[in-house]
A and B are shown apart, each in its own frame.
Chain A
Amino acid sequence: GAGVSQTPSNKVTEKGKYVELRCDPISGHTALYWYRQSLGQGPEFLIYFQGTGAADDSGLPNDRFFAVRPEGSVSTLKIQRTERGDSAVYLCASSSGQGRWDTQYFGPGTRLTVL
């Protein structure tokens, strides 16, 4: 079946602009996660959804970052007033949400470049 998909694959924007990054999880997966990966580092947790609600958003770096999942499937990560330091690969992962430590499946990521 289809895996996690993310669009766009690449996004180049100018400092101060607003961007939206989309994640389409594996069908039927209730848990969805956003991570950010800077060059040469491991993924860093941003936010976790269980169904439609954000169960944990403690990883969001500041209030310029916001994410939604209105129907419990597709999620959008929104970044306002982008800064050069926001440049990174934004990874989305989903899991079944059925087990306590169920496997997370990652999408290909969106590479965000802020000029």
Chain B
Amino acid sequence: TQLLEQSPQFLSIQEGENLTVYCNSSSVFSSLQWYRQEPGEGPVLLVTVVTGGEVKKLKRLTFQFGDARKDSSLHITAAQPGDTGLYLCAGALSSNYQLIWGAGTKLIIKP
């Protein structure tokens, strides 16, 4: 069974602080996606990383794919209240296109 473990499950920090969310697995993924999900809504794709060691930046968000393509991280610099939400990682195996999902990190940024 392929598993994606996300940590932390919950994070509450002050506006302006930095944070990192981790996504780890023993499986190798052909790609890894990060999504953000609001309550009662569908996941919204933030980024896709494909190459081992790849780093992508989206404004204050930095995404990294591990060299072995088994793990990924999301770093937010100077977090703002608008960053509050549930962040999900999802990995695609090379053999098929179904996404294996992490349980999510619930992030709260306090003003």
Judge: A and B partners, yes or no.
no
